[in-house]
Amino acid sequence: MSNNNQSQIYSNDPQSMQQKYERWHSLYQKQLAAQKEWLEAEALRQELQTYYLDAQWMQDREADLPLDYSGEAHSIFSEDTLWNMITEQDELARKWIRLGINTLDNKPL
């Protein structure tokens, strides 16, 4: 890369670069927290998937057992709730993998 191209890329003033670094640092801290939440969500997903794939889930569903739930999420006895949880989590994992690979390969996101 020529010096002319480099100066065009890095033509931002130092104060602007400092602000960008501080924004990156804030986002990085959130990414670290998100990793912890991902691990917690994955443990829950595995437990729910095991229940969903077991005959007990169908027995509980057919028994029309009453459930208290917040309304922020569907009942686990709704037809596709747990199936969607599995497929949506898998798709999200694929997107995060692609983001990570693109970052390591220094490709535009």
**DSSP string over 5-64:** HHHHHT-S-HHHHHHHHHHHHHHHHHHHHHHHHHHHHHHHHHHHHHHHHSHHHHHHHHTT
* Token pair recorded at residue 13: 């003033």
- Cα distances from 6 to residues 2, 3, 9, 11, 12, in angstroms, run 6, 5, 5, 8, 11
Please report, rounded to a whole number, the percentage of residues in the chain having pLDDT higher than 90.
72
Tens of pLDDT along 8-52?
Answer: 566 678 999 999 999 999 999 999 999 999 999 999 999 999 999
- Which amino acid, 81? T
Overall average pLDDT of the 72-97 stretch: 92
4-18 confidence digits (pLDDT tens): 555 556 667 899 999
CB within 8 Å of 52: residues ≥ 6 apart: 76, 82, 83, 86
What pTM value is reported for the model? 0.74
